[in-house]
Structure 1
Amino acid sequence: MSAVTVTGSNDNAGGSGAGNGNTSVTKKHGNVASFKDAKTVTKGLVTIDTLGNEFKVPDYTIKTVLDAIPKQCYNRDLARSLSYVARDIAVAVAFGLVAQKTVPLLPNAYLRAAGWLAYAVLQSLPYTGLWVMAHECGHQAFSDYGWVNDTVGWVLHSYLMVPYFSWKYSHGKHHKATGHLTRDMVFVPPTREQFAHNRNVVTLSELAADAPLVTLKELLMQQFGGWICYLLTNVTGQPHPEVGNRWYSPLLKSHFNPASPIFEKRDYWFIVLSDVGLLTQLFVLYEWVRHFGAFACFVHWFLPYVFTNHWLVFITYLQHSDVTLPHYEDHEWNFARGAAATIDREFGVVGSFFFHDIIETHVLHHYVSRIPFYNARVGTKAIREVMGDHYAHSDENMWLTLWKSGRYCQFVEGSSGVKMFRNVNGLGVPPAKD
């Protein structure tokens, strides 16, 4: 093996948040920056993924990827972006009106309950679409105007009880350090040692395989409580031991706390503004209940909100957790490798129409987050030719993948600075012996 110099990224390529300390800007490449002072990593690394297949670590540079993207992909059209927001709102209103006219007419209480539940799942689709458009705003992919992006994003995310600026900043740092075991911000897998510690054992040999029912319970908890827990306590993020180990310490890492260690000091008042947005939405919900009743608020906002949160975790978890994906220790990580440690999947009309291709074009999004989603298919096609076998894509049924990832992807291990998923369930490549 030999050393190779590979460039990193800054705000223009990876989103918002602090720089990675390894690069500095030298010139502009369209709307994306090129870099010098690149980080040196080992060339020619090869390891074995969870299924026993050979995984070759990428050695290409970020510049190689950026040069392949057509310049028109960077064009942001405010009118077009607003039209998608209007479309999502119109679909949500139409779903609500149809449900209000039809579900109460069902002949018995059980059918009406099933009808409202089905409606909530359906309504969560345009709600998630609005969430994705706010996500576009946070990455400044919505338009050329920062104040428009932040205003629209703040309103849309606040409606869905998401602290806009808080999540924008932590998510930007996730883009800065995707796949980095000590700097990534979400769905950071435990190492072998951390997994054993979390299970209150010293060695993996002391653990029995998890029963499928245990996996099902954990997935249900993740899907329906994971997003709230992430916002409240930064679960699946970095540990931040400086907050201490008191019972309330996890809350100090909250996205609602302006002094949380996940933020920079300069972010303080933007976090406060995020909280103001949530308080405003709570007032809106109070007025909703006061004028239309608690049941109307429950079925038209709260239940769809719960399923929207499910979709967010579903999407994010499966973008970064797969039997083929690596995670890196600091000395073998760089931006190009981290961005490639994500995967594009297929979710049919739900992904393309309702979720604005956030599932199908996520790899490109990690290379250049300011490309609007409606240009991402073209950009994805371009970078696939450069990435070759390093481009990760799957058309496997995503519900099957969710179960498989829950069973196979319990922790990561590896001695070369590149760690792959392993498990104690006897699936795939077994972990190294203690």
Structure 2
Amino acid sequence: MGCRIADSVFLFVNPKPGQIRSQRITTHLSPGIHHSTWDGLLQKGEKEKHGLFHLRRTKPVQAVAVPVVPSSADSAQYRKQLAESYGFRQIGEPLPRNITLKEIIDTLPKKVFEIDDVKAWKSVLISATSYALGLFMISKAPWYLLPLAWAWTGTAVTGFFVVGHDCAHKSFSRNKLVEDIVGTLAFLPLIYPYEPWRFKHDRHHAKTNMLVGDTAWHPILKEEFDSSPLFRKAIIYGYGPFRPWMSIAHWLMWHFDIKKFRPNEVKRVKISLACVFAFMAIGWPLIIYKTGIMGWIKFWLMPWLGYHFWMSTFTMVHHTAPHIPFKSSEEWNAAQAQLNGTVHCDYPHWIEVLCHDISVHIPHHISARIPSYNLRAAHKSIQDNWGKYLNEATWNWRLMKTIMTMCHVYDKDENYIAFDKLASEESQPITFLKRVMPDYA
């Protein structure tokens, strides 16, 4: 809870059952559709389900969800309606609790775990050349093309993060010293200390979507939301319009505080911090000396903000949706969290190439030992064997709008309650996003 409070404060600063908010009702439902707890709604199956009345569109209207007599075929139709509303291609069936993570791993081909040095170093070459090209474009681009150059360069430098990410998971090289060196160097342009991030990230994999235990982003707890007006305003902005850059606060508050790490981790944490501070002490003054403050903004800061856009976007899309629950440690199930609680999202091809397929995220959570260049083969195997349980999407505005305007405060029964349902007068940033963000899927 402390990291969530710190993250939000540092940042630059569903409707109730029976209602559905809709901007327009056509052949799909808008992102305001209300949901019930996924397990409760779908696993009860024959006992309880919501039917949806479709209203003919003549003007903005309220649609109503009314309990109806369930039938076994309705759950698939209901998931399809939710998928269209939230911006997903598919919302998977709930995974039975008796399925174990080992059973899922055992269905994967052994070759997807194999490390290929040529492919690993090819990813380094792709990132280095694409980043160098980006810096060249920034140096030559007229002012009106700089945003395109920054978008390319920020995406390219995200590839360095993915290389370091593989090193941290011991899926880059058979030589662990090489992995530590490459991972540390890959993270330096991002001002990311490698070891602190690795320790934190390992806990994210061990406790994915576990309330409090997961070290990635959580829903806000109701007691946090009610703790103070200033904090409430900060998190409304942080989990609303600033959410695509929320990882900046998370990065600063999680990775530089030695007190957050175990005693046996502190030595390696200090080495990583020394590397980062040395890079800043040498690299930043050199950039400023050669190009001035504006050069530092052009060549480092703007691509860095582009990287954090992807860091934040990938993180929230992979694990955040109205139907995906965070669970207490007592209720948490590893297989459900990693297979059912992780989202596969397709992005434009150039982004996936530069970011080394990190968006193929379900197999990475099934086993973090799968190298990034084998994630697609692993995903194909998971589709063949467990396809009906997968949550899949193609990146679109409706998906982003769903996350940024609905997935806010934790609720055990509904998973999330939107800020504007709890504090409508203070939630103008959320109502603004609902008004201006497109519904394009």
Question: What TM-score results when the alignment is normalised by the length of structure 1?
Answer: 0.71
Residues of 2 paired with 1:379 and 1:353: CA distance? 17
| Number of the residue aligned with 2:305 | 306
Q: Which residue is equivalent to 1:422? A: 417
* Structure-to-structure mapping, 1:151-190, within 5 angstroms: 151-190=181-220
Counterpart code for 1:420:
N
Work out the CA distance in 2 between the residues paired with 1:69 and 1:167.
28
| 1:83 equivalent in alignment to 2:122 | yes
Per the TM alignment, residue 218 of structure 1 is displaced from its structure 2 partner at its CA by 4.8
What residue is the counterpart of 1:354 in the other structure? 354
Trace 1:13-32 onto structure 2 (pairs within 5 A).
Answer: none
The 8 Å contact of residues 227 and 309 in structure 1, kept in 2 or not, is answered as: yes
1: CA distance between counterparts of 2:406 and 2:117? 42
Which aligned pairs between 1:3-402 and structure 2 lie closer than 5 A?
A: 46-48=39-41, 56-59=94-97, 60-103=99-142, 112=143, 114-197=144-227, 218-224=239-245, 226-234=246-254, 255-260=255-260, 263-282=261-280, 283-340=282-339, 341-359=341-359, 361-397=360-396, 399-402=397-400
The structural deviation recorded for 1:231 is 2.2
Superposition deviation, residue 420 in structure 1: 2.1
In the TM superposition, what is the alpha-carbon distance from 1:297 to its structure 2 partner?
2.7
Secondary structure, counterpart of 2:312 in structure 1: helix
Q: How many percent identity over aligned positions?
A: 21
| Native 8 Å contact 2:170 2:369 kept in 1 | yes
Give how far 1:193 is off.
4.7
Answer whether contact 2:134 2:156 (CA < 8 A) is retained. no
Check if 1:403 corresponds to 2:401.
yes
* AA at the equivalent of 2:244: Q
User: Does the 8 Å CA contact 1:289/1:296 hold for their aligned counterparts?
Assistant: yes
Q: 1:125·1:350 contact (CA, 8 Å) conserved in 2? A: no
1:200 positional shift: 9.0
Q: CA deviation at 1:78?
A: 2.2
Give the whole-Å Cα distance in 1 for the aligned partners of 2:409 and 2:393. 21
One-letter amino acid of the structure 1 residue matched with residue 418 of structure 2:
N
Q: State the alpha-carbon separation in 2 of the partners of residues 218 and 323 from structure 1.
A: 14
Aligned residues: 336
**d(CA) in 2 for partners of 1:232 and 1:89?**
25
Q: Relative to structure 1, is the Cα distance of residues 217 and 186 closer, same or farther in structure 2, using a 3 angstrom cutoff?
A: closer
Partner Cα separation in structure 1 for residue 41 and residue 275 of structure 2: 46
TM-score when normalising by structure 2: 0.70
Structure 1: 5+ residue stretches without partners? 1-44, 104-111, 202-206, 235-254, 428-434
Shift of 1:369: 0.6
Structure 2 distance, partners of 1:195, 1:58, is 33
Q: Which amino acid aligns with 1:366?
A: H
**How far apart are 1:365 and its partner, in Å?**
0.5
| Contact 1:258/1:269 (<8 A) preserved | no
- Please say if residues 319 and 362 of structure 1, whose CA atoms lie closer than 8 Å, have aligned partners that are also in contact: yes
Q: RMSD of the TM alignment (CA)? A: 2.8
- Taking the aligned partners of 1:386 and 1:412, their CA distance within structure 2 comes to 32
C-alpha separation in 2, matches of 1:191 and 1:47: 21
Partner of 2:429: none
Asked if the contact 2:240–2:404 (Cα under 8 Å) also holds between the matched residues in 1, the reply is: yes
Q: CA deviation at 1:396?
A: 4.8
Find the residue that maps to 1:344 and give its secondary structure.
strand
Q: 1:147 to 1:298 in 2, by over 3 A?
A: same
Give, as a single letter, the amino acid of the residue that structure 2 aligns with 1:61.
T
How far apart are 1:426 and its partner, in Å? Answer: 6.1
User: How far apart are the structure 2 equivalents of 1:183 and 1:47?
Assistant: 23
Residues 156 and 217 (structure 1 numbering): CA distance in 2 closer, same or farther, change over 3 Å? closer
1:56 CA displacement:
3.1
Q: Distance in 2 between matches of 1:367 and 1:77?
A: 20
Name the amino acid aligned to 2:262. Answer: E
Contact 1:137 1:153 in 2 (8 A): yes
